[in-house]
Amino acid sequence: MDDDNREHVRVAVIGSGFGGLGAAVRLRREGITDFVILERADAVGGTWRDNSYPGCACDVPSHLYSFSFAPNPDWPRAFSGQQHIRDYLERVTDTFGLRPHLRFGAEVQRARWDVARRRWELTTAAGELTADVVVSATGPLSDPKIPDIPGIEGFPGRVFHSARWDHGFDLRGKRVAMVGTGASAIQIVPSIQPEVGRLTVVQRTPPWVLPRVDRPVSAAERWLHGKVPSTAKARRGVLWLIREFQVGAFVRHPRLLKAAERMARGHLRRSVKDPALRARLTPDYTIGCKRILLSNTYYPALAQPNTEVVTAALTEVRGSSVVTADGTEREVDAIVFGTGFHVTEMPIGDRVVGADGRTLSEHWKGGMAALRGCTVDGFPNLLFVIGPNTGLGNSSMILMIESSLNYVIDYLRTLSRTGAAALDARPAAVTAWNAEVQRRAERTVWNTGGCKSWYLDANGRNTTAWPGTTAEFRRATRQLVLSEYDLIAPVEGDISPVGDDRTVGAEAAS
C-alpha cells in the first residue's frame, strides 16, 4: 500500500486477452510479480470471450495462433473455434500462475499521469490504485461499433452486435436482418441460415472470400506434436514462412494479388450459380484492400431460398421494419449488427490523461501514432500491446504481440538500469517513426486498393496496419533505443526531464 492508502503496484496491465496474459507471463518470467491485470469482465479471454456468436472461429491456422512459449499440441482443427481458443487462454492463465494477479470487474475508468509523483493514478470500477507503469492491452477488437440508425430505439424486436450475442433469443423460424458482411458476418450467416425463417443480409460492400482449407488434426499428429515438440515448432515455422512470403504482395506489389483474386472469383463462380446474385457479391476493389475472408459455406448460404442479399445500406428502422437506401421495407424480428469495432479511435483514449492534462484522444486528434507501436510522447510509462500500426492483414497477431512484449520488457529493464522513474518518448522520435511507417504504407494495397476499410482512419491515413513483415517488426522492437526517450528522474531528484547529457551518461553507465 502507498502512503495515501491506495494500493501501489510496479505494473498495471489493462485487459486479459492474448496481449494482457502474454504481458503477465513475460513479467513473471522477468522476476516481476508486483503487478495486477485489470479486467472489466468476469473471465479472461478478451475478444475470444466476448465473441461467442454461432460459428465463431479463427481465420489464422491454430499452430500459428498461440504463444511461442506455450505451444498447444492438441489443437483439434487446422483452424480453431472460439471455445478452443478460449480454453487455451484459460490454461495459459493457470499454467503460468496468473490467477492471483487478476482483478475482475475492474474496468479502467480513468488513468492520469501524476507529474509530481511520477506515476499513474488509476480509477477502476473496483476501486483506485497507482502504478509506476501501465501496459494497455485492451486490443482493437474490444468495443463494438453500432451505427446510429434513426428509429432503432423504437424497434420492438431484439437488437444486438455480433460481439454481444444474445444467447437467450431463439432465432428458429424468425425473420433476421444481418447488417454487415465482414469477418464475423460470414461465419454467422451460414450458421443461422438453416434455422431462421427469413434472413436478410444487408451488404454495403461485398468482401473477397477464399476457400477455407480446414480439417481435423488427426490423433496421430497430436500425439507426434506432444511427444516430439520440435515437429509442432517446425509446423509453426512453415506456416509463418508462407505468410512472410505473402507480405510483399500486400505492402509493395499489390498487382501480385491478381492470382488470389482469380482464386476468389473461381470460388464465387463455383458456389453461386445465379449470375445476378454473383454480380452483387463481386467486389470492385483490389483483393486485400479490405480483409480477405475465408469460408466454404458463406456463398452457399446466400444462395438459399430463405436468404436475400440487399446491396442498399440500412438507413432507418420504422417500427418492426428495416428500411434500406432504395426505400424498401422488410419486416424483421431481430437485427444483428456485424459492423465491426472502434479500431481507429481507441476507446481507452478518452480515459487516459497525459502529462500535459490532455487525453490520449485529444493528443491523437490528427490520427493515432506511437513510437514502434508501443509508446506515445507526453504519456510517460504507458506502453501499448497492439498499438497503432501493428495490425496484420495476413498473419497471426500473436507474433506482433510477442514482439511488443519484448519491447515492454526491455523498457522495464531500461528503467531499472538507468534508475529513471519514467521514460517519455521524444516527439521527434515518434514523428520520425510514424513518417517512415506512413511512407511505407503509401503503396500498400490498404492505401491503393480502392476501398474504404477499418485500416484507414477518418483522414484516410493507415493508422492500424503494419506495412512490413513480422520479422521486421520483431527487429524493430527487440531493444529500446535510449536516444528516442527523455529520462524522468525520481521524485527525490530533479523533477524535470533528464536532458541529453544525463541520457548519454545513463547509456555509458549501462
Checking if the pLDDT of 393 tops 50, the result is yes
| Residues above pLDDT 90, as percent of the chain | 89
* Residue 157, all three cell numbers: 424486436
Pick the range with the lowest mean pLDDT from 140-154, 308-322, 361-375: 140-154
The whole-number pLDDT of residue 420 equals 97
How many residues are given for the chain? 510
Checking if the pLDDT of 502 tops 70, the result is no
The whole-number pLDDT of residue 3 equals 56
The whole-number pLDDT of residue 373 equals 98
How do the residues of the chain divide into helix, strand and coil, expressed in percent and rounded to 5? Answer: 35, 20, 45
| CA atoms of 73 and 258, how far apart (whole Å) | 35
The whole-number pLDDT of residue 507 equals 33
The radius of gyration of the chain's CA atoms, rounded to the nearest angstrom, is 24
Average the pLDDT over 76-80 and give the result.
96
- Residues 396-441: tens digit of each pLDDT: 999 999 999 999 999 999 999 999 999 999 999 999 999 999 999 9
Average the pLDDT over 456-463 and give the result.
91
| Residues above pLDDT 70, as percent of the chain | 96
- Residues 222-234: tens digit of each pLDDT: 999 999 999 999 9
The confidence band for 477, taking pLDDT boundaries of 50, 70 and 90, is very high
| CA atoms of 446 and 66, how far apart (whole Å) | 26
Higher-pLDDT residue of 499, 484: 484
Checking if the pLDDT of 503 tops 70, the result is no
- Residues 170-182: tens digit of each pLDDT: 999 999 999 999 9
CB atoms near residue 340 (< 10 Å): 23
The whole-number pLDDT of residue 344 equals 80
CB atoms near residue 347 (< 10 Å): 15
Average the pLDDT over 122-127 and give the result.
98
Nearest alpha carbon to residue 131 among 35, 233, 9: 9
The whole-number pLDDT of residue 2 equals 54
Burial (0-12, 13-18, 19+ Cβ within 10 Å), 156: exposed
Burial (0-12, 13-18, 19+ Cβ within 10 Å), 1: exposed
Which CA distances in Å does 443 have to 141, 229, 369? 25, 40, 19
Checking if the pLDDT of 506 tops 50, the result is no
